[in-house]
Amino acid sequence: MYGKGLRALSISTVVAMTTALALVFFYAPLEAEQGFLQKIFYVHVPLAIVSLCGFVLGGLLAIQHLRTRDPRWDMRSYVAIHMSLIFALATLITGSIWAKGSWGHWWVWNEPTLVSYLIIFLLYATYQPLRFAIEDPERQSRYASVFAITAGAFVPMNFIAVRLSTAYLHPRVLGSTSNLPGPMALTFLVSLAAVALLYATLCKYELTAKHTRAQVRALRRRLSGETARPRGGRSAAPAAPPVKVAPAGRTAP
Amino acid sequence: MSGVAQAPAERPPSARERPGPRPQTGLRRTVAAMLRKELQVELRTLESVPAMTLFSLSTFVIFHFALNRGSVEGDLGAGILWVTLLFASILGVNRLFVADAEEGGFDGFLLAPVERSAMLIAKVLTLLAYLAALELIALPAFALLLLGTPLGPALPGLILTLALADVGVAVIGTLVAAMAVRTRARDLLGPLLALPLFVPIVIGAARASAPLLAASHPTWPALRWLATLGLYDLLFGLIAYALFDFLLED
């Protein structure tokens, strides 16, 4: 049931990614000042937007978890943040490459978006250690949700504070889609949709994999006739909720 | 465990403070009782504040040698002051809930029929008191050891900035300390969680105090930094108030 729609989602992601890349390389015009280098914009900015939305989404799912106490929401929140962390790492790397190419430095402190992004990344990098350090699964999920909500609210606040602190040394020509010429704006929007689809697909894959693994474990336990066994080893990932195994033809002795 | 929620420092339970059969004790009285207990424990054990103060003094000395400068002012001065104060406050944050976790203070508090938010408020006030005590010593020491400009004219603005920043540090510190204290690696996780959350406070506080410590013509800080600090305090106050209960139940 968790794999439902996975194939359709994967196919649409592949199509969207292909379209986006084709548009980036063959349709979008070369930017006058930066030339070919500017194409990284179509990867970097969507990655950044999607990962930030993913962090906030993780916080919203965590609110749902604290309200309902349903471990499935915790699992979703964990997957959203986990995947956003990976996207955030990619954002920082592509951002560094872009900064090196256009400003000549791998890192610039007067670009507020870059700096606030790094702070948020550093904060979320403690999410997994926090989970890992709490052994009781119920408390682990509760504390992780508290963290996810706090950090999710921190994301916009941090952007405001850092932006206030930085003078606008670099004109923000590529700040929003409103001042992009038509073909560039179209390419950007398609890339954004493609990256968002990629995020959704990867999240769904991870959720499906976790549930499948839990299901397999439950089945194996039934086969060996054990009723309950603690999970082997500690993990930063939440335990998948117990799966009801469909009754087979004959039951284990 | 006795009926009184204040575990580590057993004081003779007076009939007035025993929770008794009434379902809820007033929030203000609970907070006052817990705050009194916290300060009493600190006065008896002298665990946090002296350590924080000593740490800040050593840090000033280290900054002197690391920068190889006899005096600092302006941006640099504000930066050194805030880095030192924040790192010193981390020491207090790390110790804030240790006694409750190890000596059964949490259990006692949860057994008492009082509002959970009382613990948050009491701990925030405790941390605020620690920070005030720290700054009472660290600020004159900073002026004496490192600051190149007279402290006097900057004092009113600096006190306002310190007060605004301290509220933020206390609220975030309490939330983070409660999150970290019952994990296995609490001494590691506390600072790791707190430092990124402190960044907006550093931005606001350091930018606000830089013009106050300027070598020539100290000026009042721009209003937007104070407003940033105030907004940040308010936002995290609300977040902590909404989420703290979830850290206590079990």
- Split at pLDDT 50, 70, 90, the class of A122 is very high
> What number is the ipTM of this complex?
0.80
Residues contacting residue A50 through CB under 8 Å, at least 6 positions apart: A84, A87, A192, A195, A196, A199
CB-neighbour burial class of residue B153 (10 A; exposed 0-12, middle 13-18, buried 19+): exposed
Q: How is chain A classified by DSSP, letter by letter? A: -TTTTHHHHHHHHHHHHHHHHHIIIIISPPBTTTBGGGGGHHHHHHHHHHHHHHHHHHHHHHHHHHHH--HHHHHHHHHHHHHHHHHHHHHHHHHHHHHHHHHS-S--TT-HHHHHHHHHHHHHTTHHHHHHT--SHHHHHHHHHHHHHHHHHHHHHHHHHHHHHS---S--TTSSGGGS-HHHHHHHHHHHHHHHHHHHHHHHHHHHHHHHHHHHHHHHHHHHT-S--PPSS--SSPPPPPPPPPP-SS---
CA B172 to chain centre: 8
pLDDT at position B207? 86
Q: Cβ separation of B232 and A161 shorter than 8 Å? A: yes
Residue A153 dihedral angles phi and psi, to the nearest 5°: -75, -25
Chain B residue closest to A121 (CA)? B196
Residue B87 in this model has a pLDDT that exceeds 90: yes
Give residue B104's region: left, alpha or beta (phi > 0; psi -120 to 50): left
Interface residues of B toward A, Cβ cutoff 8 Å, are 175, 179-180, 182-186, 188-189, 192-193, 195-197, 199-200, 203-204, 207, 224-225, 228, 231-232, 235, 239, 243, 246-247, 249-250
Nearest-angstrom CA–CA distance, A141 and A146? 9
Q: Between residues A242 and A37, which one has the greater pLDDT? A: A37
The answer to whether residues B176 and B93 touch, using CB atoms and an 8 Å cutoff, is yes
- Split at pLDDT 50, 70, 90, the class of B84 is very high
Kindly state the average pLDDT of the residues A144-162. 87
Which positions in chain A touch B203 (Cβ < 8 Å)?
A: 161-162, 164-165
pTM of the model: 0.82
pLDDT at position A234? 66
Q: How far is B203 from chain A (nearest CA, A)?
A: 7
Kindly state the average pLDDT of the residues B144-157. 82
What DSSP state is assigned to residue B147?
Answer: B
Nearest-angstrom CA–CA distance, A239 and A138? 9
What is the share, in percent, of chain A residues with pLDDT greater than 90?
24
Residue B186 in this model has a pLDDT that exceeds 90: no
Q: How is A169-217 classified by DSSP, letter by letter? A: -S--TTSSGGGS-HHHHHHHHHHHHHHHHHHHHHHHHHHHHHHHHHHHH
Task: Quote the Cα angle for B68-B158-B40, to 5°.
Answer: 95
What DSSP state is assigned to residue B108?
Answer: H
Q: Cβ separation of A129 and B235 shorter than 8 Å? A: no
- Split at pLDDT 50, 70, 90, the class of B170 is very high
Kindly state the average pLDDT of the residues B104-121. 85
Q: Cβ separation of B183 and A150 shorter than 8 Å? A: no
Residue A243 in this model has a pLDDT that exceeds 70: no
Q: Cβ separation of A126 and B200 shorter than 8 Å? A: no
CB-neighbour burial class of residue A89 (10 A; exposed 0-12, middle 13-18, buried 19+): middle
Residue B75 in this model has a pLDDT that exceeds 90: no
Residue A248 in this model has a pLDDT that exceeds 90: no
The answer to whether residues B59 and B139 touch, using CB atoms and an 8 Å cutoff, is no
B50: Cα within 13 Å, side-chain hemisphere: 6
pLDDT at position B137? 92
The answer to whether residues A234 and A56 touch, using CB atoms and an 8 Å cutoff, is no
Nearest-angstrom CA–CA distance, A80 and A191? 20
Kindly state the average pLDDT of the residues A198-224. 89
Q: Cβ separation of A129 and B192 shorter than 8 Å? A: yes
Which of A146, A159, A166 has the highest number of chain B CBs within 10 A, making it the mutation to test binding with B? A146
Q: From residue B235, how far is each of A25, A238, B53, B242 by CA, in Å? A: 44, 29, 29, 11
Integer Rg of chain A from CA: 22
Which positions in chain A touch B197 (Cβ < 8 Å)?
A: 123, 150, 154
Nearest-angstrom CA–CA distance, B119 and B101? 13
Nearest Cβ partner of B232 from A129, A145, A157?
A157
pLDDT at position A228? 55
Tokens of A202: 């990867």
Candidates A126, A166, A88; CA nearest to B195 is A126
Secondary structure (3-state) at B176:
helix
